[in-house]
Amino acid sequence: MYALIAMFGALTALVILLRLKMRLGRSMVVSAGVLAALLLVGPGLLWKTAVAEWHDKPIGQTTGYLFISLAVLLCMVNVLGLAMRETGVSGRLAVALQGLFRSRRAALTAIPMLMGLLPTPGGIMLSAPMVRDLGDSIGVDRTQCAAINFWFRHQWETIWPLFPSIPLIQSMLGISAFQLMSHNGIILLAGTLGGILFLLLVGIPPRDPNHSHRTQWWLNVRDFLSAFWPIALVAVLYAAINLPPAGGIILATGFFGLFHRLPLSRWNAILRQGLEPDFVLLVLGALLFKLILEAGGAIPSAVGFLQEIHTPPVVLIFLLPLLVAFLTGVTMPTVAITFPFLMPMISGDGRIRMGLETLAFSGLICGLMLTPVHLCLAMSASYFQAPLGKLIVKLLGPVVLVAVAGLVSAWMFP
């Protein structure tokens, strides 16, 4: 019980600091300090936990590696976006996307959904510059743009086998990939429908009657590719040779500058503006949050509390993944922590109840999409300069539909 109180106390501190107009990165670091104080996690224990990660986890999952790689990725995406604006590429991209898709709503969602097929830490930032520039060109509020980019970027997480949680659940249940994907597909459908209803059908200004689309499709394709190729290069390098996105974005930004012959005299101003210190503090605060929870043993304590109060099975199946996802902001650890506890209810008598598995995963998605410690959500708020609270409120409608989809699945496939 105390672990839950400490967690919500730290999140309350985060909300208060944001209301006091403290920047998001600084607020995250301070609230992580509040959490450490409440859980009695001192520097020694924190260091011991960080060192243990280097022995027990792959290097790509350690806090130190993630801090460097994600901070570099976030800052360099910002730099690339400024370079695109400096060369006029981002301005032409907005026209090209509207010409290619005709529908402004389809244009806003196509890029994050496409980039969402590549599961990489901080990958949401790959689509952010294009969504932001397109949204600005058609007059969409920055918070709305952040919500669209964040929500549609994560829709594949329920079924796409490149997300490690999918094969992990498949191996736990001993089922085929098709069986898991076909049942979890209801979450994808509900999430997409929720995004359309709550994020695309509202908040998009009427089309300017004086605005005409460029009809030369080859010019639209050319301008789209001129903006998209640096991002595609990052994805290709990651998929082909496992080059971390942070390294890929540095290369892509350098090649972009060379290709467009951006003068060195302009790079100084772009780097000074793009390398935002608060981005670094944001990543540090979010990762400290996760490390402190591990060091303080907060997650097992919260799980044990729910079991001790004899939470009804259906409620527990939904609530436990939601709670752990909300506390950690990460999918894979949530599955690894919660599904072993839920297995007796999902497949205890030898019969696999896929409706209950879908209910559990829908709870995970609900928690993941609303927690301030989810790095993608925090980075979106910072990059789009969107108030975190307003961003979360915009996501409530789609999240409710995801929860309803999980409940319907549990009722249809008991």
Question: How far is Cα of residue 107 from the mean position of the Cα atoms in its chain?
Answer: 20
E strand spans, 74-219:
none
Give 213's pLDDT tier (boundaries 50, 70, 90): low
Q: How far apart are the C-alpha atoms of 388 and 344, rounded to whole Å?
A: 38
* 111-129 pLDDT tens trace: 888 777 766 666 677 788 8
Name the band, by pLDDT with cuts 50, 70 and 90, for residue 215.
low
The mean per-residue pLDDT over the stretch 310-334 comes to 84
In 154-277, at which residue ranges do the beta strands (DSSP E only) sit?
none
SS3 of 377, please?
Answer: helix
| Sequence-distant (≥ 6) Cβ neighbours of residue 349 within 8 angstroms | none
Coil vs helix vs strand at 214: coil
User: Does the pLDDT at position 207 exceed 80?
Assistant: no
Domain extents in the chain:
2-412
Q: What is the pTM of this model?
A: 0.77
Alpha-carbon gap, residue 87 to 73, rounded angstroms: 21
Burial 165-184 (b: 16+ CB within 10 A, else e): bbeebbebbebeeeebbebb
Q: Per residue in 128-175, pLDDT tens?
A: 888 888 888 888 999 999 999 999 999 988 988 767 788 778 877 888
250-297 pLDDT, tens digit per residue, is: 888 888 888 888 887 788 888 887 787 887 887 888 788 878 888 888
